[in-house]
Structure 1
């Protein structure tokens, strides 16, 4: 029994070191000029996949990797709330918040509808829809705990998470380059272009990269608009969890089950309140956000280490197609709205 405890401790320590290294490397590489389009979280995921080929004690680290991908994910999302300044979001006005609500609700619904019509399984369609409509990888990982699957489908669900993250990472990078490229053709003001990038792109890193090409006003507008979408993560996760539970129970005819409540999303909102109203200072908030991304990077690396990603390419085409169509419609919609209302 004592030897088993030692093995578990050593396994967790090895898993912690491996994921920590991946997160640090992801943060460093994500800050480089061209790799910034991909983002630190996705790079950490890729590094985790690469670590699978190394001669590490997989059986011993498996439990530690599972703990990190689960608990550190929640801790990272909670601390990510410090990035949201509620006063800044409120000052952005009803139009920006309203646009964020319409974009999130519309894009999530559209992507899910298209995915199901194309034959994508329910769980993968939900994750791809959340990542496309809200805030990329963080949304995928924030919504995933709300999707309760049986023990024998846990590995399959982890594959869905990786696939959904890969979809939004690729599409976000492609659409960032597209929006920068077509910017001269759109004849938008800096504010309007910031609204387009913040409302249509997948990751915060994508909105920053595209928004900065329009100047400081465009960048500030892009960040505020994007963070307005990030704010929707908590209510969206709760609504999706309730909807998924209800439809799954109904289809399986197993009777009423307990609704999964994302308590960590409450921590996310509390962190945003504390970061907004407590005099923590810009430097302290910046450190807290960096720590948040470090925890999220470790969770993404752990996810990459624990999944059989060879099967991803076999069943990801239709999900990618659904998210692509939804992203094109979203970009067209945000261009029209920005010209009409901003």
Structure 2
């Protein structure tokens, strides 16, 4: 086990305090009207960006910030598994699971293809595609560890993460308002509207906000459909990581062919947590506490990311990836409307 120096321990302590403050503020603000459309994770990221003004403490906390953005991210993803009740997903039926599989696969491929056509770099295109197709910020952060880049590109990759999170947060908020506006025009049942929201929106917070506009039945349908997409996070991360490694090895030539394929062990923890949460009688209060802890750790990881990136560069690089995700989000919404009309 590695022994950390006193300086590194102090750095971690300061980083923990800074990111915890950001995460707690994000959690509080996400409970307010209108801000709940943005979600706690994105607000935590924004608070981290704001904290960049404290240059002295941020510089001192540099080591700890890197540790939190890496380790706390994985811990948060694992704990997020307790939010997935596999029996509830099974009761939703084959149609819902099949819809989630088609939405996730199709949206990732479509967003990535459009982004690459618009000259978005591969790593950023993958993260934006995953966030758009699966579950927003959590998907971006869950897939990112599978994108292994050289050490000298680590800062650039953190910028990619923030940019992808920003894109799905903005688009998710826009399309939440679009879904709610379309509700009286589409003449959907409560279940149909909920499934449409869960199938087409980006963050869990977005699906909850839109689904609640249709009443309790609609909200339940939106949450189940959205969580069906969240369930795809583990296999998607594994497949994307393996594909990225192989394609990168091929580009680099034979010398890199022996590089190991990344195995997202923390995703195994995510699945294990969902199994435990489903079949072990922990009680609703314990499950709720674990899920809150998940969002707290993820919020701290997002805050650490926000503290450590150059968002001026992100602003300059964001146009094409935003356009790609916007186009695929429109197509996804149209597809979701057609599917719920025909099959739900």
> TM-score, normalising length from structure 2?
0.98
Alpha-carbon distance, 1:204 to partner:
0.3
What is the aligned counterpart of 2:261 among 259, 262, 270?
A: 259
Alpha-carbon distance, 1:57 to partner:
2.9
Equivalent residue for 1:115?
115
**Is the Cα contact below 8 Å between 1:8 and 1:60 reproduced in 2?**
no
Task: Please state if 1:61 is matched with 2:61.
Answer: yes
Task: Please state if 1:229 is matched with 2:259.
Answer: no
Task: Please state if 1:35 is matched with 2:35.
Answer: yes
Three-state SS of the structure 1 residue aligned to 2:257 is coil
Alpha-carbon distance, 1:58 to partner:
3.1
CA–CA distance in 1 between the matches of 2:5 and 2:265? 30
CA–CA distance in 1 between the matches of 2:156 and 2:121? 11
What is the aligned counterpart of 2:331 among 329, 332, 335?
A: 329
CA RMSD in angstroms, aligned pairs only: 0.8
Equivalent residue for 2:124?
124
Equivalent residue for 1:319?
321
Equivalent residue for 1:189?
189
Alpha-carbon distance, 1:11 to partner:
1.1
Equivalent residue for 1:151?
151
Unaligned segments of structure 2, at least 5 residues: none
Equivalent residue for 1:294?
296
Three-state SS of the structure 2 residue aligned to 1:56 is helix
CA–CA distance in 2 between the matches of 1:158 and 1:230? 23
Please give the per-residue CA displacement for 1:247-301, whole angstroms capped at 9, x wherever unaligned. 0000111323100000000000000000000111111100110000000000000
When structure 1 is superposed on structure 2, of 204-213 and 53-62 the one drifting more is: 53-62
Equivalent residue for 1:165?
165
**Is the Cα contact below 8 Å between 2:58 and 2:307 reproduced in 1?**
no
Alpha-carbon distance, 1:152 to partner:
0.7
Alpha-carbon distance, 1:17 to partner:
0.2
Unaligned segments of structure 1, at least 5 residues: none
**Is the Cα contact below 8 Å between 1:208 and 1:219 reproduced in 2?**
yes
CA–CA distance in 2 between the matches of 1:153 and 1:229? 30
Please give the per-residue CA displacement for 1:289-315, whole angstroms capped at 9, x wherever unaligned. 000000000000000011111101111
Aligned residues: 339
> TM-score, normalising length from structure 1?
0.98
CA–CA distance in 2 between the matches of 1:149 and 1:331? 33
CA–CA distance in 2 between the matches of 1:245 and 1:255? 9
Equivalent residue for 1:135?
135
Task: Please state if 1:215 is matched with 2:207.
Answer: no
Three-state SS of the structure 1 residue aligned to 2:134 is helix
